[in-house]
Amino acid sequence: MTTAFRRFAAVLIAAFAALVIPMVASAHALLSASSPPAGAHLGTAPGVVLLEFDQPLNATLSHATAIDPTGRDWNGEVDSAYEIRIPMVTNAAGVYTVDWSSVSAADGHHISSSFTFDVGVAGPTSPEVAANAVPGPQLSDIAIGAVKWVEALALLFLVGQVLISRLALRPPPLEWVSPGFRASSIALSAGLVVVWAEATIGSGGHSPAEYVAFFNNLPGAALIARLGFETLTLIAVVRGWRTLPLWLAGALVMLAAGGHAAGADPAWYGIALDAVHLVAAGLWAGGIAALAALRPPGGWRSSQARVLLSRFTPVALAAFGATVVAGGLEAITQLGSIQSLVDTAYGRVLLVKMVLVALTLPLSAMAWRLKRPHVRVEAALAAGVVAAAALLASFPAPPTAAARHAAQNAASTPTAGLPSGSELTMAGAAGSDLVGLSLSPGTPGPNRAIVYVLPIAGSAQAQGLAANIAVNGVYQALLPCGATCRHATINVKPGDQVWVDVLNRAGGEAKFTVPALPAPPGDALLTKLEAAMKALTAYQVREVLISGTVTINSVYASEVPDRTTWTINNTSKTIWIGTALYTQEAPGEPWHRQTSPVDTVPSFVWDFFRPLTNAHVIGQAVLGGDPTTMVTSFGNSQSTPIWFTFWIDATGHVRQVRMYAPGHFMTDTYTSYDKPVHIVAPTG
């Protein structure tokens, strides 16, 4: 064999080896959906921010924080295997930033990102960002992928050397075949770097406790086991142990357990398939590499070389077939569909890799069978294959369609039990649970009562939740009609007291008074309200916000065209003038200035949930000595169901509005119409 041909063969073998390595790219736990969605434009802050991921999370190392417009951090934690919940008790207007960091419980890989949503900002909506978008590779992913490629390539080369050495022992034995197995030390060295880097990034590298949390699960155990098997492989090489194939196979299985394969469902199937792919690749491509490293007496045209090649050929053909089949099944498992090959960045890189295989195989046949190597073309293809494999190792695999669908359903607010048509609907609070009551047909006598029940912990807690309904103290069970829907037939007349009793730890009783039936429509009053409130030049609001067991009292004042100030619990104060937002955490503390979307006055919470539907007059009341008409209505924007009850005076002004939203119950009392408040920027 000439020197040029040996160099060509080495390049070709490197291309094959890089190609068949099922690059164990980071199977990151990606954000599949959020509530509110990224870029949402809301009229009121959510009681809970929910993040749904496509893989189970490491509960200790995964976290998220929502930063409100005043700069306060609201911290969340893993609530279930696939979700992080961030409870918030605030209604500050402006831009909210959600920073999240996930560590996959399937393989321990880390990823982080952020998104924003707006509350009470009447300017342009913030750009919408798809929550389930698959990010490109991070620099750390690329660096780790490069070292992991070296580790995998060394292990595959060792598999090939073990195979060739066993084939050489068949009678008649080939004494000149004596592999050195030096790649065992390279595999262990690269493995140590990979495990250290993944543990440091995944744990945050801040404390020993976080390192322990990273390794104290199956992915962490797989990394340690991989180092253990690679150590035993090196010892077996040094000591000449016959158990070398066993330790080498163990290292390959643990290599599979540390990549995308661990994110399959079920995980054992993905890991087993990847392990078969790795072993087969080692027997085929690793075997070719081992042959290229040998120097048979008389060259590769000698009779002894032909004996070894004849022994290797059937094994190589079978291993090549297993590699292709296992690789194809892996692609289907990881991508979920053929369409994902062109619809996702990961799939497109994988497609490039497959095309390079198709181009490389015929050239390989000419090189080995027809003795007509195309060195430059092969080298260019090899470089392309290596680049594609390295890039593929750095991309997070896209979530499957099923994972995206499940996460989006979990993050979205369920609709079962919400009012429809022109039903009379009212809302109340049963402890911290939102309760909506709709009556059909809304006339005296028998009515179908449709009850919407949503606990503050989310719709998952509503599944199987028991609830009763009572009319004037006589109870009956509510029957399920969906995850958040319960229903019963009740007999009602005007003035009856209706209770909805939610039977969970955070529940209680929501109380309703049946209005005149049929309730008069309230659309004309809402139109009058809109005109009167939008004509205001100044106003003040006292707000009581209840979320869970926490109550916040705030005082607001606004004047046209762009000035608002508010104080929360008589401590923190905010002044918003145009695009300048000034915040003070406590009296006497320094002021902090930041830029915000422009403040538009007048602006009200119900502006962001129009058109309001199901408007009905439900009674009369006197507030502050003035008679008012009570109007109930329903709004549903950004998949957030909200009920409003307005107290409207004779001029069309709102004296009070009560809002019931998921985990967020609020009462605003309006005063000081058109009385200037002279809001100015702070000087301290």
Predicted confidence (pLDDT) per residue in 383-400, tens digit = 344 344 445 555 555 555
- Mean pLDDT across the stretch 603-609? 87
**3-class secondary structure, 419:** coil
- Residue for token pair 């590699």: 323
pLDDT bucket at 636, cuts 50 / 70 / 90: confident
Question: How far lies 311's CA from each of 123, 177, 336, 564, in Å?
Answer: 75, 13, 38, 84
Enumerate the domain spans of the chain: 13-23+139-334, 414-513, 523-671
Distance (Å, whole) CA 70 – CA 581? 8
Query: Quick one: pLDDT at residue 59?
Result: 85
pLDDT bucket at 314, cuts 50 / 70 / 90: confident
Q: Is pLDDT at 5 greater than 60 in this prediction?
A: no
Question: 197-221 burial string, b = 16+ CB within 10 Å, else e?
Answer: bbbbbbbbeeeeebbebbbebebbe
625 bridge partner residues: none
Mean pLDDT of all residues in the chain? 80
Which of 7-21, 175-189, 578-592 is predicted least confidently? 7-21
Query: Quick one: pLDDT at residue 195?
Result: 86
Farthest CA pair distance, the chain: 112
Distance (Å, whole) CA 73 – CA 76? 10
Burial degree of 164 (CB within 10 A; 0-12, 13-18, 19+): buried
Q: Is pLDDT at 141 greater than 80 in this prediction?
A: no
**3-class secondary structure, 125:** coil
pLDDT bucket at 11, cuts 50 / 70 / 90: very low
Query: Quick one: pLDDT at residue 461?
Result: 78
Which of 178-192, 636-650, 664-678 is the most confident on average? 664-678
Q: Is pLDDT at 91 greater than 70 in this prediction?
A: yes
Nearest to 647 by CA among 672, 607, 604, 618: 618
Q: What is the pLDDT of residues 555-591, one digit of tens each?
A: 999 999 999 999 998 888 999 999 999 999 888 899 9
Burial degree of 421 (CB within 10 A; 0-12, 13-18, 19+): exposed
Query: Quick one: pLDDT at residue 140?
Result: 73
The better pLDDT of the pair 539, 218 is held by 539
Q: Is pLDDT at 368 greater than 90 in this prediction?
A: no
Nearest to 632 by CA among 660, 595, 603: 660
Q: What is the topology classification, in CATH, of domain 414-513?
A: Immunoglobulin-like (2.60.40)
Nearest to 223 by CA among 332, 342, 104: 104
Q: What is the pLDDT of residues 426-481, one digit of tens each?
A: 999 999 899 999 999 999 999 999 999 998 877 777 888 899 999 999 999 999 99
Query: Quick one: pLDDT at residue 359?
Result: 60
Question: 88-116 burial string, b = 16+ CB within 10 Å, else e?
Answer: bbbbbbbbbebebbbbbbbbbbbbbbebe
Distance (Å, whole) CA 198 – CA 241? 31
- Whether 98 contacts 476, CB under 8 Å: no
Q: Is pLDDT at 496 greater than 70 in this prediction?
A: yes
pLDDT bucket at 4, cuts 50 / 70 / 90: very low
Beta strands in 330-473 (DSSP E): 424-430, 433-440, 445-454, 467-471
Q: Is pLDDT at 597 greater than 90 in this prediction?
A: no
Residue type at 22 in one-letter notation: P
The better pLDDT of the pair 59, 336 is held by 59
Name the class of domain 523-671: mainly beta
Q: What is the pLDDT of residues 185-222, one digit of tens each?
A: 989 998 899 888 888 877 776 678 878 877 877 778 88
| Number of residues that this document lists for the chain | 684
The better pLDDT of the pair 241, 285 is held by 241
Q: What percent of the chain has pLDDT over 90?
A: 34
Which of 140-149, 367-376, 596-605 is predicted least confidently? 367-376
The better pLDDT of the pair 114, 261 is held by 114
- Mean pLDDT across the stretch 33-46? 81
Query: Quick one: pLDDT at residue 556?
Result: 94
Which of 12-26, 124-138, 509-523 is predicted least confidently? 12-26
Distance (Å, whole) CA 227 – CA 660? 56
